Chains A and B, each alone.
Chain A
């Protein structure tokens, strides 16, 4: 084991996602060994090396510190562009929350590496990273990993803050949603009592653009016949994602009470998934071997990319202009969500998790607005020069009538945006 965890940044492994047909070599500015478990020190070196080598794509920051004093790293993966990463729809990936997903760190690291090395030669990946953001926190529980690795190496855990800290609270029971201290001693004295879980939640609350959460399994399947844990329309939206993949949504797994996924879906309204690699027969206390890690790494980055591509994507259709009277015009515009997920989940709508799509109008005075619903129209709220539009289902559109005032031949700029659907702009000339 000692040999396995030794620093090995030289063994090359530029992963290519399954099924991609690539004609260029990967952009190997950094190479990492993906067949061993990283210590906290190694992880720090690897992440910093990546962020330094790919400044146009990666930004490394710390969400906080663990109880043992380790940094809780999070890598923001997004190509530089006109829209800030914080204003693009986003996926959040969390690794190593507890004993069951200690390998999540390596899979998350592999995902960062894959995105960095392959985006230039993979058009789909490049497009994804131009319009969406992927936040990857490879290790939420570094103290527990240190303790487990010490045990695996046969050395008794040396006393210290990291070891003591890792013994008390199960992070997957310490998040607020359905936190249950009556049933579970490991839930902690209060939700988010662990600085690691609190830092994670604070990071997420500061990013309303996070539309999907991904952690790593294994998870128990939800009992057949038990009450659905997800809104029907959200389950429908997840169907295409969970089909034929080892990706499970919170409707198919029994997410523990107090887990990150339960919090993500129930409070943030983010679609929450677990990726469960197929390790084959493996004792619950055993970590997968190096070869298995490498194989799973390929699947992990493909899954995260798939999630990113499914996020809501706003598009503005061609506008139709009609003169009403004098300088007053009606502009009919179609706002489409071209993504596989809605602009906000049904649960997110219930939780008022973030703002609905808005259309901002520049160049003309907005008089009023209405939504066309079949044969009927319905007035829309109009805060200032923007129009609030109800959330849009996947692959669906809403037709909006904008009543504006401006002289003929004026060019009016329309910008549609939503925290979890991105933005789209169009120009229309009043004639």
Chain B
């Protein structure tokens, strides 16, 4: 009984909340849990873009000619009793995976000192590492490839550091970090990081000479590599975890019950289930008091361990982006978050690296919300980041300009994702490491508008309301059936209007052991978690430009200092200007965070004595283009004394100025 797994992440409800706290929810199964194509003939997966060398199989999802499956039910007599969980499925043993781009080779990498061309593509871990090496080799004076941490299966994770040669060692400069796909499934995020690295190397002036940039395109290699090879993963690493704490490990993974080549989702009729089907039968909504029939939502498969739950202990692992400490879920409620905060050595290596540097900006490229998200993975964390809302608004506008996208103002992680994001790295990077931290999701339901708007004929031209509260109000049709949530509508609009209706397998009945009735269906792979190959360039458009614009806007302190001597009495004064567009640090208060203000320090020469003023003055953070108040010192010093005034701020290179009054 082989365990199988979809490419989806653990199922959970999507919640869209308005400021008043009302919620509209729909099934994540329909939004975040695509099924995975399995090659029915040779055991290989067949996601879109499969090359001509592949034997005839299910047409690729990207093929507009491909019909949506509405095949007959595939009964299954496997024993089952009662499903409760939605843990992601996985491929059966022996299935030969095929990369999302099919067997089409990625561009060959030749190591020279010429910058290789960058083409958006889905690559394997090895190909991505090769490309990173080639990029580093192209400009060895500025770039170096290095390895950071190790995965559970022992792979060293490649990273690149880019810094213009200069008097200040790169390790002492403000540092920009780019992490791709910490969530373990956003290959488009990994590509966004590679594209940005390429752009930095192609245009050296994009990176200020006093700033370092460290990029880890494949931040969660085990899961990403499985997906890139056409396999499946929910983003977890390969650490064996006894998810259901029954003493057996990985004993209840999903199965392809209907032999359609996909591991999909499964609805099981249950009078106390939390879901009902919507008016558009593809989608689910939370069940109300009188709604029937109700369903449990689980990954497709049998109850392999006969414990009454379906597929609750699949192979793997810990999702790195749930393993960070802030607002992390407990392991007894979500085994994917890890036994302890930063229990995964790789996650800890990232945390330690960021702590070891003067982290100015951290960009995590991942997700499928298609927007720019700011810290705040849970409602409880929102106050921690509220002080910087104005800053985030400006950055959001810049993101919209650079990418041509629009979003409804500043979105926290929770708002952008439509659900809590416990243990997200982004929150920790901001709250404790004190870095300006942003998540960019290259892919999302509103990213790819298609080329021909006049051809649209679908059910979902526009979501009925962008206001979740209103959406809740209108969430029932006249027939009394519920309407899907806005995110489901948006994906449906993309599938129907842009993608020729391809990308969703309609629910098909299956029979489980004990007479339990189920329905199998859901999104197909390479539909919503990552864009189809042909949509990847669109997903990346403007992202590198936006990131590098931010890098160019980092604060830069300029120190003005002078002195006036009257005999042995010297009056010194200094002020600091932030000539960058971003502030010198974050607002808000977190006791364990590094200071975000500006420090000014007077270094006295031998024989001098400070009469008035403090040798070190801590100023509040400076906004972009802001100048500090003047600081004055009164010093008794012999003639010819040379004073040094130094200033530093967490996101800025330190500056020193010598004064000889």
Query: Interface of A with B (CB < 8 Å)?
Result: 176, 179, 181-192, 201, 205, 267, 350-352, 355, 381, 383
Contacts and interface: CB of A to CB of B under 8 A. Distances in A.
Contacts, number: 62
A352 B244 CA distance: 9
Contacts of B330: 267, 351
Contacts of B432: 181, 189-190
Interface stretch (B282-290, B369-377, B587-595): B587-595
B428 interface: yes
A419 to B, nearest CB: 11
Given A181-B591, A182-B431, A352-B245, A189 B340 contact: no
**Chain A facing B: main interface SS:** loop
Contacts of A267: 330-331
B247 A189 contact: no
A183 B590 CA distance: 7
Contacts of B428: 190
Given A350-B332, A352-B245, A355-B247, A189 B341 contact: no
Interface string B337-364: 0011110000010010001000000000
A353 to B, nearest CB: 8
Contacts of A205: 339-340
B325 interface: yes
Interface of B: 245-247, 307, 324-326, 330-332, 339-342, 348, 351, 355, 384, 428, 431-433, 589-593
A188 B592 contact: yes
A199 to B, nearest CB: 12
Give the 10 A-B residue pairs with the shortest CB-CB distance, closest first: A181-B592, A352-B245, A185-B591, A191-B341, A351-B332, A190-B325, A182-B590, A352-B332, A191-B325, A176-B341
B592 A185 contact: yes
Contacts of B431: 181-182
Nearest to A383: B247
B382 to A, nearest CB: 12
Given A190-B428, A190-B432, A176 B325 contact: yes
A176 B192 CA distance: 34
The dominant DSSP class at the B interface is loop
A192 B433 contact: no
A192 to B, nearest CB: 6
A187 B591 CA distance: 9
A170 B589 CA distance: 19
Nearest to B590: A182
A187 to B, nearest CB: 5
A295 B589 CA distance: 45
Contacts of B355: 189
A201 B341 CA distance: 12
B384 A182 contact: yes
Given A189-B355, A191-B325, A184 B340 contact: no
A187 B245 contact: no
A136 to B, nearest CB: 23
Given A181-B593, A185-B591, A192 B339 contact: no
A381 B248 CA distance: 14
B618 to A, nearest CB: 15
Contact of A187 (B247, B348, B592): B592
A179 B423 CA distance: 13
Contact of B341 (A179, A184, A352): A179
A355 B246 CA distance: 8
Contacts of A189: 351, 355, 432-433, 592
A257 to B, nearest CB: 12
A190 B592 CA distance: 9
Most chain-B CB neighbours within 10 Å: which of A190, A267, A350, A351?
A190
